[in-house]
């Protein structure tokens, strides 16, 4: 199929100027084409430019193209959510009530809630239940313009359930139109049965779980929750380096609740990204900038936990490549609305409208090792394209808390039209 999207008020190309995630002032460079067009053939973008230029260069293709009129609208790359805990059992609305009454994240976790509560529900859930529930969540993501989602395990904390989560994500990658990119996170918490001997659980992850993940080709990344009361920097280093030896790319939940040298560790082990970073140190931020580690910031989590946000403005100014994601999970960020998360990044982290667009497209793509394929509208890249019902990109943040997605094109096919999913095959 050949598609021509034409007459857009603005085509936000986010055309890459390098082969790495953007930093500093580059994060404000949207490379906008006024009254622009996008030509697609099959699952790839053929050209982006003015109607006259495309007509001169690709007249034969355009003659047989299906035309989508984007008059008065904005066209941009599909959004990339680079940090989710997509597959889980149960919900935890009771904990939200507890927080409203003054309980902290660690208070709830120490009382048997938090990750442990979801672990229990996920262990009890069948593969089929998890698959069907997660499929519907992906539909919600799609309607909000998200075309690629990272999915972490970590609600099993035993091999049987970790594998179940990863297998669900793998089947969804095969069957759902959204691309699902898997991360193994057996090191999400110390399971209750290893509470008195956490190093034994670290050994289990390293010696048994990681080799099985790699053997089954179940994940591309290996993540760990480096936090006081969870995994120490020394334990985290061992887990990440062991995964790296087996070919899993390191990621790290770092400095979310207390400063714990997680950002420094991310830079040290060559992590592709460090996530959360609410209380990352100045030194850790500088180390990440030097290493090129992407900071995946999660302003929705801070908002939901009523915590201070990560220092997004400082990180951009210090040269850290910044991405923004939902952290979709049942406890601390139960939302699939990446557009709302973009609003929060502007309002609570001091980032600009331009920077948050970069942070949810090309930089988010690099945070999951997909920057060469998605995240910008360029010839040769995958045709993951949004048509938004706004007149210019500033209105995306001006009209906050709203879903402006009208049309979603995934792999060159229209899959959402007027907000309605029309084809998932």
Of 3, 1, 25, 38, nearest to 376 (Cα)?
A: 38
For residue 258, the tally of other CB atoms under 10 A from its CB is: 12
Report how far residue 386's alpha carbon sits from residue 405's, in angstroms, rounded to the nearest whole number.
7
Q: Which residue has the tokens 């956490």?
A: 198
- Chain center to CA of 100: 27
Task: Look at residues 291, 256, 257, 246 and name the one whose alpha carbon lies nearest to residue 273.
Answer: 291
- Could you give phi then psi for residue 15, rounded to 5 degrees? -55, 130
Query: What is the model's pLDDT at position 309?
Result: 96
Cα(391)–Cα(395) distance, rounded to whole angstroms? 7
Placement of tokens 């790495």 in the chain: 20
Q: Give mean pLDDT in consecutive 10-residue pieces for the chain, a chain of 425 residues.
A: 97 92 97 98 98 95 97 98 98 91 82 88 98 98 98 98 98 98 97 95 98 98 96 98 98 96 98 98 98 98 94 98 98 96 97 98 98 97 98 97 97 96 71
Q: Residue 209: what pLDDT? A: 98
**Using an 8 Å Cβ cutoff, are 345 and 299 in contact?**
yes
pLDDT for the residue 424: 56
Predicted local confidence at residue 188, as pLDDT: 97
**Count of CB atoms situated within 10 Å of the CB of 420:** 7
- Strand duo 273-276 + 249-254: pairing: parallel
Listed in sequence order, the residues at least 6 apart from 102 whose beta carbon sits closer than 8 Å to its beta carbon are none
Residues 19 and 371 sit within 8 Å (Cβ to Cβ): yes
Query: What is the distance in angstroms between the CA of the first residue and the CA of the last residue of the chain?
Result: 15
- pLDDT at residue number 110: 78
Q: Which runs of consecutive H residues, i.e. helices, occur in 311-371?
A: 312-317, 338-349, 353-359, 362-367
pLDDT in the model for residue 107: 84
* Buried/exposed code over 190-208 (b: 16+ C-beta within 10 A; e: otherwise): bbeebeeebeebbebbbee
pLDDT at 161: 98
């Amino acid at each position: 199929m050949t598609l021509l999207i034409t007459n857009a008020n603005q085509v936000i190309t986010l055309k890459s100027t390098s082969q790495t995630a953007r930093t500093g002032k580059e994060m404000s460079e949207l490379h906008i084409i006024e009254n622009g067009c996008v030509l697609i053939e099959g699952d790839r973008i053929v050209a982006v430019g003015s109607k006259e230029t495309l007509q001169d260069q690709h007249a034969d293709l355009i003659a047989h193209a299906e035309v989508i009129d984007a008059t008065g609208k904005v066209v941009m790359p599909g959004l990339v959510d680079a940090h989710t805990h997509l597959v889980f059992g149960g919900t935890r609305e009771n904990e939200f009530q507890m927080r409203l009454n003054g309980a902290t994240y660690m208070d709830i976790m120490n009382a048997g809630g938090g990750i442990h509560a979801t672990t229990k529900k996920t262990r009890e859930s069948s593969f089929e239940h998890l698959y069907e529930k997660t499929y519907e969540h992906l539909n919600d993501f799609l309607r909000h313009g998200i075309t690629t989602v990272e999915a972490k395990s970590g609600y099993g904390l035993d091999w049987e359930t970790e594998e179940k989560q990863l297998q669900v994500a793998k089947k969804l990658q095969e069957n759902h139109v959204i691309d699902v990119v898997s991360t193994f996170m057996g090191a999400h918490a110390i399971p209750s049965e290893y509470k008195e001997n956490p190093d034994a659980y670290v050994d289990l992850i390293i010696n048994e779980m990681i080799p099985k993940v790699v053997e089954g080709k179940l994940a591309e990344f290996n993540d760990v929750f480096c936090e006081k009361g969870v995994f120490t920097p020394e334990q985290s280093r061992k887990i990440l380096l062991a995964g790296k030896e087996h070919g899993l790319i390191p990621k790290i939940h770092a400095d979310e609740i207390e400063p714990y040298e997680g950002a420094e560790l991310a830079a040290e082990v060559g992590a592709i990204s460090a996530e959360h970073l609410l209380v990352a140190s100045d030194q850790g931020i500088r180390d990440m900038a030097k290493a090129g580690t992407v900071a995946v910031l999660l302003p929705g989590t801070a908002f939901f936990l009523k915590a201070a946000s990560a220092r997004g403005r400082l990180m951009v100014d210090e040269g850290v490549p910044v991405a923004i994601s939902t952290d979709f999970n049942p406890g601390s960020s139960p939302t699939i609305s990446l557009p709302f998360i973009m609003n929060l990044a502007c309002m609570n982290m001091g980032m600009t409208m331009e920077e948050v667009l970069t942070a949810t497209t090309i930089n988010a793509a690099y945070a999951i090792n997909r920057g060469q394929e998605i995240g910008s509208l360029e010839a040769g890249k995958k045709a993951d394209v949004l048509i938004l019902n706004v007149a210019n990109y500033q209105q995306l943040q001006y009209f906050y808390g709203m879903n402006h997605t009208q049309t979603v094109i995934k792999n060159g096919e229209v899959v959402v039209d007027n907000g309605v999913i029309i084809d998932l095959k």
